[in-house]
Chains A and B, each alone.
Chain A
Amino acid sequence: MALSRLSLRSNRFLQPSSTTAAALPSSLRRHVSTDTTPITIETAVPFESHLCDAPSRSVETSSSEILSFFRDMARMRRMEIAADSLYKSKLIRGFCHLYDGQEALAVGMEAAITRKDAIITSYRDHCTFLGRGGELVDAFSELMGRKRGCSNGKGGSMHFYKKDACFYGGHGIVGAQIPLGCGLAFAQKYSKEEFVTFTLYGDGAANQGQLFEALNIAALWDLPAILVCENNHYGMGTATWRSAKSPAYFKRGDYVPGLKVDGMDALAVKQACKFAKEHALKNGPIVLEMDTYRYHGHSMSDPGSTYRTRDEVSGVRQVRDPIERVRKLLLSHDIATEKELKDMEKEVRKEVDDAVAQAKESPVPEPSELFTNMYVKDCGVESFGADRKELKVTLA
């Protein structure tokens, strides 16, 4: 990323140069991770806009924020890799859709909004959950179907939720969360509290009719809804050029303004989401297209190599990896040293391993849990198991 000379100078002023860093006592070096002095960074790729003015390429951030990006993304990456091996050792069953490669989206968005703004997404939700403040151990427990899980072990990989952080999940049916998200925005408009809803969907879901129905209503009623298309270029195994006549998903809103963003750049994502939130509160819905990429296949049963070459995947990893980008930024701005970052990654790895171990200890839900949370109390409806004589409970 291009460096603003002013920021470099101010950075050097506040922090000893890296050559003397090792000689300084640790208390002084630790100071950098809480440094909130504003730094301005330019995004590498300009924004493309539709029916609106693109936001500036200069993003206001700080050392501590960029460092937190690094740590959070490293944690998400580690979590997804751990989930991969847990799935292969059959501790996670069912389906598992991994988000590695797309971490910048989750962290960038969180940096621009509050925990009172709502997020709703599809089944690729592990990292979004983490971004919303979810604990690693809750995530792993839910993946393994344990009681400690965020949905009490009853949802699984595709159904993570976090009510206190306004994270509305976690939806299995492609595109079904879009009208829901617009409904959330509708409720927010009524509450007049100046919060917005980010509705995430993929390039595959972008061809669902319900998207356009929801967009029309959102635009008609000026809802504070931000529709974010996470364009990772493949709808399961189908490339965008084979599924969409117009792969410019940010323009698909037609009468709704749109913005195309480099989704592998956490700072660009932050800028776009900040801009979108302001726009949505004033003018109604906006579509954001995040140009991103997933390294894994669609799910764990998809090797991810039958519809794209390994060279393509490794190419993206080398050139556009979001974590590497932030690492380079941290190093070039002298915010942290190589060793510090490596140590951070080691800490994250240990954090993840501990969370996995803890999650493994959590018990599986009781069989009676099969019948809870279907109806609200006092409904009196009876439920039966396979044999009408056994497992008969009154639904609570």
Chain B
Amino acid sequence: MASLLGRFCRKLVVPGSAHGSRMVSTTACDSEAVKSLNLHSAINQALHIALETDPRSYVFGEDVGFGGVFRCTTGLAERFGKNRVFNTPLCEQGIVGFGIGLAAMGNRAVVEIQFADYIYPAFDQVKRVFPTLEFDFSTAEFLIRGFNSQIVNEAAKFRYRSGNQFNCGGLTIRAPYGAVGHGGHYHSQSPEAFFCHVPGIKVVIPRSPREAKGLLLSSIRDPNPVVFFEPKWLYRPAVEEVPEHDYMIPLSQAEVIREGNDITLVGWGAQLTVMEQACLDAEKVLDFIFQLKDNWFKVSNMGLELIMQEGISCELIDLKTLLPWDKETVEASVKKTGRLLISHEAPVTGGFGAEISATILERCFLKVKSLRFNSSRRD
């Protein structure tokens, strides 16, 4: 599975940034030392590096001390001490608020929410539309408020409402998300769409171990609060060659994993594995005939003959960062192919696919020949 993804190694160039951490430009798979790792090990490595390179970074959450329920935090407490890697009581609202407070004092807080399904107490239902200047607190009140504070109303708007005096950019919230087969109602949710509606935070979702390590390091070092969703389905089964050194993958840059001409497929996280397989299937002629019967494409007779000889060539894009998302890459691809298929795990209505389709239609209205949604969840 992951070998398919790993096949498409690309040049990863990391632009300079203001953090002072080591930036490397890595070429695909060859020069640096790599190790075969699965997703939780890659994330573990990223956390080790993050804590090593910044002495003011902390990792905490429920049960992270012994390694976490998904083994993402193994070895951290032993190596960096219980002052920097510690367990919290069972209170998501408190955990995130605590993280915001730490971050507001200039530290890097990497907070773990045990399952994305539990993130809602930290979400803050009371949504104020515009932050006002009345809420200009002193530091002490920030911290007190920090204990009651939640992602949407506190983390996202800190910098804005304090007129850039304070911020909680050092905050990264990690949460396993997505279906895993036996999760049921409360261990399978994909809440990314809720967070994409909040200006001020970033939402990042890796698709594979190598991506996860680079994206997590970028997220931790990004000067904005980031919500990092990890596809729990891939924790153990997805294995890839992951470089052992410190590297970062830029945020808000989508990647064209697979080039094609007939249709653009956009996705993120574990769904890309499914889509990769769909691309391979689409290239086969027999499958194409079935699809044609369902009017999936409207093609001219000549076009039909052409495609019958060659199958369907799909361009697969991994969005990686959902907020702010790379509109340009997707737009360029749709202008080339004229067709867009978005696939994600979350329910279709109000899902992030809706945002992508609206934006792309707006930008490429005349070029789009067909537009489809696909979700593994019932809507």
Contacts and interface: CB of A to CB of B under 8 A. Distances in A.
Nearest to B294: A389
A207 B372 contact: no
A209 B148 CA distance: 9
Given A95-B182, A172-B186, A243 B375 contact: no
Contact of B91 (A208, A383, A384): A208
B121 interface: yes
A94 B378 contact: no
B90 A172 contact: no
Interface in B333-379: 348, 372-376, 378-379
Nearest to A157: B184
A385 B118 contact: no
Given A95-B182, A159-B185, A237 B90 contact: no
Contacts of B262: none
Contacts of A58: none
B182 A94 contact: yes
Contacts of A235: 89-90
B184 A371 contact: no
Interface residues of A, number: 33
Contacts of B184: 94-95, 156, 158, 172
Contacts, number: 76
B233 interface: no
A172 to B, nearest CB: 4
Contacts of B348: 384
Contacts of A172: 117, 184-186
Interface in A72-96: 93-95
B253 interface: no
Contact of B121 (A210, A370, A386): A210
Interface in B168-203: 182-187
A92 to B, nearest CB: 10
A371 B378 contact: yes
A209 B94 contact: yes
B303 to A, nearest CB: 22
B93 interface: yes
A93 B182 contact: yes
Nearest to A155: B185
A248 B46 CA distance: 39
Interface string A218-241: 000000000000000001111000
A242 B348 CA distance: 42
Contacts of B162: none
Ranked nearest first, the 5 interchain pairs of A and B with the lowest CB-CB distance are: A172-B186, A207-B89, A243-B89, A204-B90, A94-B182
22 contacts: A94-B183, A94-B184, A95-B184, A156-B184, A158-B184, A158-B185, A172-B185, A204-B90, A207-B89, A207-B90, A207-B91, A208-B91, A208-B121, A209-B121, A209-B148, A236-B63, A238-B62, A238-B87, A238-B90, A306-B66, A384-B379, A385-B378
